[in-house]
């Protein structure tokens, strides 16, 4: 069981879009960076936890929790000439790009914003908080995951 942070621009695909997708599930397509691809292809497994991060938002932050429901498989948008993410170099017989499928677990509303994340000492080592960090699929440690769960878990009812 591992933990990840996936970035998405909410004006392209938000956590709410995931929640309104069929089965609250989507294929995480369009990743076109080799390091992120390697994680998706080789390391992200069914049952892993995902922090759904909104980049280019105001404020940017973690907007929901998701889980992996299908491990790495070829990204079909790479083969589709009509897709924005089409890559003619990727052949179905030798795919270059991979996706996983994720399902929404719960929204974090309002999102846990980047400024708030920076104030939490236990999260100081997060890849996300590193200056110039651009990787769209990032590993998250168990300790970081647990801290964020604790901060965002819905209040228990009386």
If the CB atoms of residues 43 and 69 are measured against DNA, the closer one turns out to be: 43
In the numeric block, the tokens 């997708």 are attached to 21
If the CB atoms of residues 69 and 127 are measured against DNA, the closer one turns out to be: 127
If the CB atoms of residues 65 and 117 are measured against DNA, the closer one turns out to be: 117
Q: Which residues bind DNA (CB under 7 A)?
A: 7, 9, 33-35, 55-57, 59-60, 114-115, 130-136
Rounded to a whole number of angstroms, the minimum distance from the CB of residue 29 to DNA is: 13
For residues 158 and 144, what is the distance between their CA atoms, to the nearest angstrom? 28
If the CB atoms of residues 69 and 96 are measured against DNA, the closer one turns out to be: 96
The token pair that represents 18 in the structure block = 């995931």
How many angstroms separate the Cα of 144 from the Cα of each of 6, 108, 117, 151?
14, 16, 11, 11
Rounded to a whole number of angstroms, the minimum distance from the CB of residue 152 to DNA is: 18
Rounded to a whole number of angstroms, the minimum distance from the CB of residue 156 to DNA is: 31
In angstroms and rounded to an integer, the radius of gyration of the C-alpha atoms of the chain is 16
Rounded to a whole number of angstroms, the minimum distance from the CB of residue 53 to DNA is: 7
How many angstroms separate the Cα of 158 from the Cα of each of 26, 34, 80, 108?
35, 48, 52, 21
């Amino acid at each position: 069981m591992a933990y990840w942070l996936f970035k998405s621009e909410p004006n392209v695909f938000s956590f709410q879009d995931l929640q309104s997708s069929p089965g609250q599930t989507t294929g995480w397509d369009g990743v076109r960076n080799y390091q992120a691809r390697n994680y998706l292809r080789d390391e992200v497994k069914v049952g892993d936890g995902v922090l759904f991060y909104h980049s280019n938002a105001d404020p940017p932050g973690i907007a929901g929790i998701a889980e992996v429901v299908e491990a790495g498989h070829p990204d079909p948008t790479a083969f589709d000439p009509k897709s924005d993410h089409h890559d003619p170099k990727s052949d179905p017989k030798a795919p270059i790009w991979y996706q996983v499928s994720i399902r929404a677990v719960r929204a974090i509303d309002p999102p846990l914003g980047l400024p708030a994340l920076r104030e939490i000492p236990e999260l100081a080592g997060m890849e996300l908080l590193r200056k110039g960090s651009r990787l769209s699929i990032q590993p998250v440690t168990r300790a970081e995951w647990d801290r964020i769960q604790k901060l965002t878990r819905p209040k228990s009812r009386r």
